[in-house]
Every structure is written in structure tokens, then in C-alpha cells.
Structure 1
């Protein structure tokens, strides 16, 4: 399981995915179908996400099935941005569709 913050044209979102990398072509295709064709992604530790989101994290995880490989945990850009420090974010992954 990977957790990632994606900075998009409308602001950051926090996602959970079963893909092994935030650079996985199928993940980027899924984001493109949601209108996200250009973004900067940062992996964040799943443990930090679980700690910050608590029960909401558990609900989303319970809904994430093998065939459902992408879930948006938080789309409130202000909340996502201020909920994580830069030190918690991994190296940036740039994508331009």
C-alpha cells in the first residue's frame, strides 16, 4: 500500500493506492481519467497517514479492494497541505501527460 500527496492544478489531494509506485503507468492513467494529467507526487508514510486520519483512514482502507487500486483519502487541499511536513514527503515524482 502506498500513500501519496499529488499537487495538481486545483491543489493537493491525498491518495491511497495498491500500485507499487507513484510512477506506475496504470496509476497515472487512472489519475488522467479523473482529469489529472499534470501533477507532482510525493510519497508519504502510510503510518503517518493512519495517525493523522484515524477512523477515516480505516474506513477508506476497508473499502480498498484488490480491484479498486486507487482511493482519494482527502481532497481538501488546504487540509492536505498543512497536515504533512515537507520532511514527511518523499522525493518528488513529476508527471506531464
Structure 2
């Protein structure tokens, strides 16, 4: 399981995915199918996301399939932006 913050044209979203990487072509295709053609993505520590989102994280995780799945945990850009420090973000994945 991967967690990531995706910076899109409308602001950041927080996702959970069963894809092995945020740069995996099928993951990118899944985002593009949702209308996200250009983005910058950063992988997050899943345990940190779990601590910050608690029951909401558990609820979404219960709905994530084993393979080829993607769920938005938080689409409130303000919330996502301020929940994670830029200093904790790794190398970006840039698409578009």
C-alpha cells in the first residue's frame, strides 16, 4: 500500500493506492482517467497518514482492493497542504 499527496491544478489531494509506485504507468493512467492529466506526486509514510487520519484512514482502507486500486482519502486541499511538511516529502514524480 502506498500513500501520496498529489498536487493537481485544483490543489493537493491525499490518495491511498495498491499500485507499487506513484510513477507506475497504470497508476498515471488511472489519474488521467479521472481528469488529472498533469500532477506532481510525493509518496508519504503510510503510518504517518494512518496516525493523522485515524478512523477515516481505516474506513478507506477497508474499501481499497488488493490490486490496481486508488482511493482519495482527503480532497480538502487546505487540510492536505497543512497536514504534511515539505521537509518530509521525498523525490517528486512529475507527470505532464
**What secondary structure sits across from 1:21 in the alignment?**
coil
How many angstroms apart in 2 are the aligned matches of 1:88 and 1:45? 9
Q: Report deviation, 1:77.
A: 0.4
TM-score, normalisation: structure 1: 0.95
Q: How many residue pairs align between the two structures?
A: 96
Structure 1 counterpart of 2:11: 11
Name the CA distance, whole Å, in 2 between partners of 1:26 and 1:2.
Answer: 14
> Distance between the aligned counterparts of 2:62 and 2:94, measured in 1?
29
Corresponding position: 1:82 with 2:79: no
SS in 1 for 2:62: helix
Distance 1:23 1:68, change over 3 A: closer
In the alignment, what sits opposite 2:36?
Answer: 36
Tell me, which stretches of 5 or more residues in structure 1 are unaligned?
none
Counterpart of 1:63 in 2: which secondary structure?
Answer: coil
* Equivalent residues of 2:19, 2:67 under 8 A apart: no
Which consecutive segments of 4 or more residues in structure 1 shift more than 4 A?
A: none
Match in the other structure for 1:91: 91
**Runs (5+) with no aligned partner, structure 2:** none
- What is the root-mean-square deviation of aligned Cα atoms in Å? 1.0
Cα distance in 2 for partners of 1:18, 1:62 equals: 12
Q: Is the 8 A contact 2:7 2:41 kept in 1?
A: yes
TM-score, normalised by the number of residues in structure 2: 0.96
